[in-house]
Each structure stands twice: as C-alpha cells, then as structure tokens.
Amino acid sequence: MTIQDKLQIVLVTYNRRHFLERTLQQLLDEKSPVRDFSITVLDNNSTDGTEDLVKQFQQTHPHNLGYHKNKYNVGLGGNLIKAMELADKKYLWIVCDDDFFDWQNWPEIQQAIEEEYDLIVTSWAQKERNTSIPYILNNLSFVPAGIYHTKHITDLTMQNAYAMAYNLLPFHAMGIKIVNEKGRIFVPQRKVVIQSEEPKSHEVRKLKKGLFYKWNKFNLLWAYVDAYNLIEDKKLRYACCNELALDSSFFSSMLFFLSIYPFCWHHFFDVFCTISWRQKFWLCMAVLTKLSPLSFYRTDKGINIRLFYVIKTRLIPFKRAKNIN
C-alpha cells in the first residue's frame, strides 16, 4: 500500500473562495508532496462561487480532487463531523481553507504514517516544540494540527463528536480517545502547517437569533474545558486545564475567559464543575478581580483605596486649613 492509499485530506470551507484558491494552489502545486493524494473539498453550502472554483481545479486534477457540498450550512462543528464521516482511508487529515504549508519537513510526517502512529502532530502555537500531552491537546484545537489514524473513529467517537458539535471541537473526540488509550503520538522537529493570521470563523461570529446559546455565545477557553471532560485521568484533565492559554498562568487564562464577549454564565458553571478545587479558587479570584478590582480614588478628605467596591479606607488624609477668624 502506497502512502497515497493511506492518507485522505479533507479541506473544510465556507464562503471563503479567495482563501480556498490559495490553499488549493499550495496543496496541488508541483512541489507539493500531497498533490496526488485524495483531496476532498467539503463545502458547507457556500454561496460565493466555491463550487465553480473547485471545478476549475478539477480540470487539471480530475482523479484525486473531489467535491462535496452540504445541502445545509451545518455550522463549523457540523462540517468537521462530516469530514470525520467521509474518512475511508487509514489516516485522516482535516485542513482549513486559509492556512500555509511548509513541505520541507513532510518526510518526517510520511515516515510517521508508514510507522502507523495513532496521532501525528503537524503544527503548534508556541515557538518551541513541546511533547507534553497538555500542550499537544491544546494545539490540536487548530484543526490541521493533527493527522489521525481512522481506527479511532468508532461509534463512540462519533457520538462524542456529535455531542461536542456546539463547542466547535468535535474532532477532539479522536485525539482524546488516543490519549486515553495511551496511543503512539508523533511530534516532528518542525511544523508543517503555519496558521494564518486571518480571523477564524469562531472569532468573527455574530449573535444569531434562535441559535443554541452555547454555540451563539462561543468561548474558546470554555470549549477546551468542555472537550477535556472526555479525559479519563483526572490529574491529566486538570493539567490540561492548567494550560488553557499556553505559557500563561491559570489565573491569567481565567481573566481572559471572563473577558470574552458575550459572556455566558452557563459556560462559567461548565468550567467550574470540570476544574480542580485549586483551579476553582483561582477562577473565583478572577471573578472578584473582574467584578471588583482594587482601585484608588480621591476626595476632598484624602486619597482612598477601594477593594471590591465595598471595603474602603483612607490612605492619605488631607489636613484642613484652620479657620483664622
């Protein structure tokens, strides 16, 4: 079996024809090592001419470039689940329509596929390579960051994926299954996918009337914690929650979590019920800091300090001038 027979690439897209064209050019370029692989464009019912663009590329790549258009826009989470359902080869690589590829290190990835690793990491957010599970799972939230062995797409995996459609990380059902089963994970020396700086769909989301609130009020850090509920080892789950914002303290990540608009108290309680008692303490401290920060103010009697808008004390009293009359 050749490497082309083992790996299937599914490119998810919605109304981003201008980015999709660039991505297809990279994947199908003469210098691309995956130009002859099975590549399927999974279109979430675009209305911007995406289908016509794909047909243009199919004229020069009729045998390996496929196209599937959803009847309805099923949302990003739903489209990612569709990608998992389309998997019919030994490995599945879901890629986005706006990122960049550095093929110099592809031989390492190909070797890992030949050696049948369960999960092959292709990208990471931090500057340095890190092979710890909390960092790997955090980085896998970037869709193209993982190539998955499809033996891990089971009935239970798909049920978990559907259950997590609203947190936009349904593919984490594959990665966390591999972690729970202590599968073999390969992290290359250099990344293959470079994340675009273009806003992602969840970052430009607008409130939509009638949409389920957890999807409508999406919060990325909540999504991480929600997905980590699948981690069976509690200590590992807490360790992953501790790295929500890589290289930042848990307290700092909670401050960021609370600052994301629109805020949703349901997300807050989901997070609170998942994290450790120590992390609960820091979450509560972040809430107090956000709601009632320490502040200084001045009155005619002096400079005062105010804590939580309740506790007040005067630091520097002003002396009143005596009446000489």
Residues 229, 232, 235, 239, CA torsion sign: negative
What span, in angstroms and rounded, lies between the C-alpha atoms of 226 and 76? Answer: 17
Tell me what pLDDT residue 193 has. 95
Query: In 3D, which of 201, 157, 196 has the Cα closest to residue 178?
Result: 157
E strands in the chain: 7-13, 38-43, 65-69, 91-95, 100-101, 119-121, 146-149, 185-186, 193-194, 295-299, 302-307, 311-317
What CATH number belongs to 3-194? Answer: 3.90.550.10
Query: In 3D, which of 184, 106, 181 has the Cα closest to residue 148?
Result: 184
Contact 135, 246 (CB under 8 A): yes
Tell me what pLDDT residue 315 has. 46
* Number of helices followed by number of strands (H, E) in the chain: 14, 12
By three-state DSSP, how is residue 167 classified? helix
Tell me what pLDDT residue 101 has. 96
Contact 64, 36 (CB under 8 A): yes
The torsion angle over the Cα atoms of residues 302, 306, 312 and 315, rounded to 10 degrees, is: -40
Tell me what pLDDT residue 185 has. 98
pLDDT tens digits in sequence order for the chain, 325 residues long = 899 999 999 999 999 999 999 999 999 999 999 999 999 999 999 999 999 999 999 999 999 999 999 999 999 999 999 999 999 999 999 999 999 999 999 999 999 999 999 999 999 988 889 999 999 999 999 999 999 999 999 999 999 999 999 999 999 999 999 999 999 999 999 999 998 776 555 444 567 788 888 888 889 999 999 999 999 999 999 999 999 988 888 988 998 999 887 888 899 999 999 999 999 999 998 887 777 655 555 555 665 655 554 445 544 454 443 433 3
- For the chain, the domains span 3-194, 213-283, 292-325
Here the tokens at position 77 are 């989470």
